[in-house]
Structure 1
Amino acid sequence: MFDEELADLDTSFKEMGLLVSETLEKSVQAFLDHDREQAQLIIDGDKAINEREIAIEKKSFEMIALYQPVTTDLREIVTILKAVSVLERIGDNARNIAISTIHMKGTKRVPEIEELIGKEGTQVAKMVREVLDYYVNDDVAGTENISEEALVVTESTRKIRTQSIKAMETDSEAVEAATDYIVVGGYLKRTSDYVSDIAEWIIYKRTGKIVELNPGTSSYL
């Protein structure tokens, strides 16, 4: 009975992860397409992600209380408990990007910066999918890729910030859009940090060790 419930819990976590990954991709695309209707759908859909988190947390606590698992079983439940809250925060970032999409109505856009945001969004969404694969396969070695990719995202975010500031200095009509570019870049950067957090819990699940990936790179920029 415990094994069956643990498998169900595991499946629920993976399904939520896929939902969050898809939502993030749609949110970035809506921002690039200036699609305010799609952005509103993403904002409205955030409630479903929150409800999934609550259901998974509730089930996790119930299993700990009922079965009192130890060693690897306990680590798996703790990993899900920790990682599911991180997934919910990634969902919040996707919602916040959608809010920025609506906020930018009528503002002057800068295509060069939006191209950078598109590339960074693709990279971050890829990281989310990868970390879910590592979770499914208990792939500790694969988490090293997450660390390297997070550094790439950090550098990309710096470029977005630098070019946004330059756009503000050269064109006063671009100030509002450039401000949102910096904010969206920050959401994507924080999302890559959250992916690193999930990777750390995968390592804990497999080895029982607490590690710090990308120390010193978790700031906004």
Structure 2
Amino acid sequence: MHDKPLSELAGHLLNRRAGASRPARHHVAPDRFGLDEEKVLRFTDGTLDAAEEQRLAEEVAELLPLNWSLTYRGKERLHAVVEHLGGESELLRWLDRHPGPPRLTARLVALTSTLDRYSEDADVVEALRSLRAESPLPAELEGVLPPDTDAETLSAVSYRIEELLFERHPQGAARLALAATDWVRDAARRAPSASAQVGELGDLMAHLHQDISEADAKV
């Protein structure tokens, strides 16, 4: 995974803005999800073998879109993994080292967190509004975005990606993610007066598009 999206992500993964994890709140019974305590303890003390670590990575990947709905104990175990690895960026790097769903999920979660982070930026919203007025939406975004282009536009994409991950459709989430990164990158490139934030977002979308495309090809 590119370092730039990870450096921009630091501090945003597990403490996202209110409303950013609607699938977790609306569809999940919190007590049904959590990490195995013994497995987490063995991971943090270095006694988990490679096969068990791969399975732990798969379990963590399943939880990331749902972290708002975990019980206190579930969050505590997830944070134990994060702290052992050295932080949120290192958590994604760790998942990225495990092929299949962990790697793809890590890259999709990096995207959803990035979209949520920029969703309320006025210049980003204006760039999206301008492109939407000029060009039809990609087919993958039809029915995903609300009618008006505002601070909820990018969050709507995050919501649908997380929903697809929860429903165990990672490749459907990847298809939507690739369409969204292309669309947002195009909006940044064609913005009438691109601010630093718009330019930065366009750069991040280019990196994330490549990352997700590579991971999706190997799931």
Structure 1 or 2, whichever has the larger Rg, is 1
Please, what TM-score do these two structures have when normalized by structure 1? 0.38
Please, what TM-score do these two structures have when normalized by structure 2? 0.38
